Structure 1
Amino acid sequence: MLTSFLCFLHIVGTREKEGTELKQIIYDQYDLRVERKQRVRQFDAFWSNRVLYIMVPVAHLEAEEIDELQKISDYMIRTHKDIYVSSFVKNKNETYTTEIEGRQMALFRMPYDYSSRQLVVGKELAAFHTHARNYPAKVTAINRIGQWKSLWVKRVDQMESFFREKVRSNPVDVFDTQFVESFPYYLGLTENAIQYLVDTELDDSPMMNDAATLCHHRFTDLTWQQAQWMKLPTDWIFDHASRDLSEWIRVECRKGKDMNHAKIQAFLQDYERVSPLSSFSWRLLYARLTFPIHYFECVEDYYTSGPVADKKWHEDRMKTILQSSTHYEQLLGNFYDLAGVPAKSYGIPVLDWVKK
C-alpha cells in the first residue's frame, strides 16, 4: 500500500512539474498566462484572459504547408468573416511553430463560444467550400486536386505486395487472418473505384463548382467540434469538394444496420441548397465512396502501430468493418436513388455488381 501511495505521489508530482514547465514555456514563447487547462478533441488547450487557445502538433507538416494554411485561414477570417476559423498565433520570434516538450507545435486562438447557434452542417460546409474556392493565390503545398488515381494506385499496389507476403508466411494471429481473408474483396472494390474515377474524368466535364477548394483530410460530424464549431486549419487540404461529402457519408454508411438514410439525404439536400452538385461532382463522390479508405487505414494502422499495440482493439475495429460490408455494398448499389439523383437522365453509371 505504501509503495502504491508513493508511486501515486510521484506521478502527481511529475504531472504538476510538467504543468508548471508548460505554463512557463507558454509565457516565455507567447507572453500568455495559462489560467486553466482543458482538452479539446485530442489536444491540450488552455484559457488565458478569457480566450481559449489550443496547441496542435505540426511535425507532420512542411514549412510550406504551414505557410499556406496560415494565409488561407487569415483569408477566411478577414475576407469572409468566418468566426469559426481558429487563427494561428505567432510566438515572440514571429514564427508560427514552437518546440514544446520536444515536439513542434502550433498555437491557435479558438473562436468564441457560439454554441447556442444552431448551424446546419451541410449548409455550413457548402458555404465554407464556396468561400475558399475564391482564394486568390495559387495553392501548391497542400494541393491534392487530380491526384486521387495515382495515390490510390500506389496505396493498393503496396498493400497487395504486403498481402502476398502474408499469404506466403501464413497468418499467425487473428488480424493476419482477417486481413488475408478479406483483402481480395477490397482489392476488387478498389479496382472498381479507380476505373469509375478514370471513366468519370474521360466521360464527364467539370463545372464551375468543381474547382478546387478547402477540404479536410477526413470530414465527419466531429471535425468542427460542433459543441463549439471550431474549424482547425491543420485539418485542411486543397481538393475537390466531393472529398468532404463522401468522407462524411462514409462514416454514416459504416454504421451498418444503424445507418441513417434520412440523415444522409438531409445532409446532401442542405449542401445543394447552397452549392448544387454537377454530374461530375456526383461521380467523383461515388468513386471516392467506393474506394475503401477505411479498410486501408485499419490495416495500415495495425501493422505500423508497433509491439505495444492493443491488438484486440484493432481486431474489433476490423471486425466491425467486415460486418458492415454488406450494408455498405447495398448503399453503393442504391446511392443515387437515396441521394435523389436522376442517374439515368444525367448519364451517370452505377456499379452493376452492387446494384440490387
Structure 2
Amino acid sequence: MKQFIYENYDLRVERKQKVRHYEAFWSNRVLYIIVPVGHLEEEEIKELQQVSDYMIRTHQDIYVCSFVKNKNDSYITEIEGKKVAIFRMPYDYSSRMLVIGKDLATFHNHARSYPAKVTSINRIGQWKNLWVTRIDQMENFFREKVRSNPVDSFDSQFVESFPYYLGLTENAIQYLVDTELDDSPMMNDAATLCHHRFTNLTWQQGNWMKLPVDWIFDHACRDISEWIRSECRKGNEMNPTKIQTFLQDYERIAPLSSFSWRLLYARLIFPIHYFECVEDYYTSGPGTDKKWHEDRLRGILKSSSINEQFLGNFYDLAAVPAKTYGIPTLDWASKRM
C-alpha cells in the first residue's frame, strides 16, 4: 500500500489509521482517506468532484474532503482490481460543537445555489418510480418464498411480515403522489446536496468530515427524514425532544414548506429500514452471521407499533399546523400487524 500510494500520488505514508471503516494515512502532517468507488460511474465521480470543489471554494466549507488527483491527472486509481479515490481530510476542528439541524440547513442552502446542471447524481422527483420498482421486486421475491416454503427463521419472519410492509409502502407511494398533485413546491424545495443515508453518525464529532461519495442531489427532506428515522430506530430510547430541537434548529435557517413536510412524512412512512434489512440478508455471502440478521429483523418487527405511534403523532411532535396547511394524516389504527 505504501509503495502504491507513493507511485501513484507521490505521497509518503508516515502513519496509518482508520477513519470510520476506511483506511487512512498521514503524509506531511495531512490526513488522507482511501475510499472504494467501484460502485460509482465515471460521470458521477466527475460531478461529485465538481460540486465538492464548489462547496470548498465558493462557500469555504472547511469540512468537505477534497479529491486528490493521481499522477495520471485522474481522481480514480485501480489497486488490486478495485477502484479507489483518495481524499484530503479537513483539519481537525473538532473543538467546534456540531449543531446538527443548523449545520445541515446551512449545508443545504449553500449547495442549493450550485450553478451547474446535475444529471448523474440527481435523484429529485424519482422517489415514486424507485419505490415502485423496489416493492415490485420484493413482492415477486416474497411470492417465490411462499411457494418454496420458508426454510429458516429469517424466511419465516420475512414471509409473515411482508404483507404489512407492502401496505405501508403503498401508503407512502399514495401519500407522495397526492402531495405532488395537491401541493406546490417553494424556493426551498429546489434540489440540493443530500446524503444517501444521513444519520447522527454521518458527521461525527471528532472526525467531522463531509465525504463527497456520500452525496446525491435530492430534496432536502431526504436528509431530514433519514436523520429522524435513525433516531426512531432507537425504539424506547428515542428522545422526542432531540427530534424537536433538530427540526427547530433546521427551520431557523431554512423553513420548511407544506410541500416539504408532506414529502418528509411520505419518506418516513416508506419502510426503507425493513427493505435494507431483508436485502442485506439475502444478498450476503455464505459466511454471513444469520443470527445477527435475524435479530436485526426481529427488532424492526418488534418496534413496528412504536413506529406507528410516532408517525401518528408526528405533525403534533413537529409542531406543524397540519389542518392550517391542509396536510392529510393517516389512520394508523388500521395498519397494525
Contact in 1 for aligned 2:196/2:215 (Cα 8 Å): yes
- Indicate if the aligned counterparts of 2:34 and 2:86 stay in contact, CA closer than 8 A: yes
Once residues 248 and 325 of structure 1 are traced to their aligned partners in structure 2, the CA distance between those partners, rounded to angstroms, is: 18
CA distance, structure 1, for counterparts of residue 181 and residue 2 of structure 2: 56
Equivalences for 1:292-311 in 2 at 5 Å?
292-311=271-290
**Equivalent-residue separation in structure 1 for 2:22 and 2:75 (angstroms):** 17
2:313 partner SS: helix
C-alpha contact 1:330 1:354 (8 A) present in aligned 2 = no
> How far does residue 255 in structure 1 lie from its aligned partner after superposition?
1.3
Q: Kindly name which structure, 1 or 2, has the bigger radius of gyration based on alpha carbons.
A: 1
Partner residue of 1:15?
Answer: none
> What is the aligned partner in structure 2 of residue 118 from structure 1?
97
**Is 1:246 matched with 2:228?**
no
**Residue 58 in 1 paired to residue 37 in 2?**
yes
- Equivalent residue for 1:136? 115
Distance in 1 (CA, whole Å) between partners of 2:208 and 2:332 is 40
SS state at 1:59 partner:
coil
Question: What is the match of residue 236 of structure 1?
Answer: 215
Sequence identity, in percent?
80
Q: Deviations over 1:7-28 (max 9, x none)?
A: xxxxxxxxxxxxxxx0000001
Whichever residue aligns with residue 80 of structure 1, its letter is H
Q: Which residue of 1 aligns with 2:187?
A: 208
Supply the distance in 2 between the matched residues of 1:119 and 1:311 (Cα, whole angstroms): 37
Partner residue in 1 for 2:299: 320
**1:185 corresponding residue in structure 2:** 164
Partner of 1:74: 53
DSSP-derived class of the 1:45 partner:
strand
Q: Deviation per CA, 1:96-119, whole angstroms, max 9, x where unpaired?
A: 011123210000000000000012
Q: Secondary structure at the match of 1:99?
A: strand
Provide runs of 4+ in structure 1 moved above 6 Å. none
CA distance in 2, matches of 1:240, 1:190: 19
Q: Give the TM-score of the pair, scaled to structure 2.
A: 0.98
**Runs of 5+ consecutive residues of structure 2 not aligned to the other structure:** none
- Please report how far the alpha carbon of residue 297 of structure 1 lies from its aligned counterpart in structure 2 after TM superposition: 0.4
**Equivalent residue letter for 1:333:** G
Structure 2 matches for 1:1-356, cutoff 5 A? Answer: 22-354=1-333
How many residues are treated as equivalent by the alignment? Answer: 335
* More moved, 139-148 vs 220-229: 220-229
- Corresponding letter in the other structure for 1:23: K
RMSD of equivalent CA atoms: 1.0
Q: Please tell me whether the aligned partners of residues 122 and 268 of structure 1 are also in contact (alpha carbons under 8 angstroms).
A: yes
Contact 1:246/1:289 (CA < 8 Å) preserved in 2? yes
What stretches of structure 1 of length at least 5 have no aligned partner?
1-21
**Amino acid paired to 1:209:** N
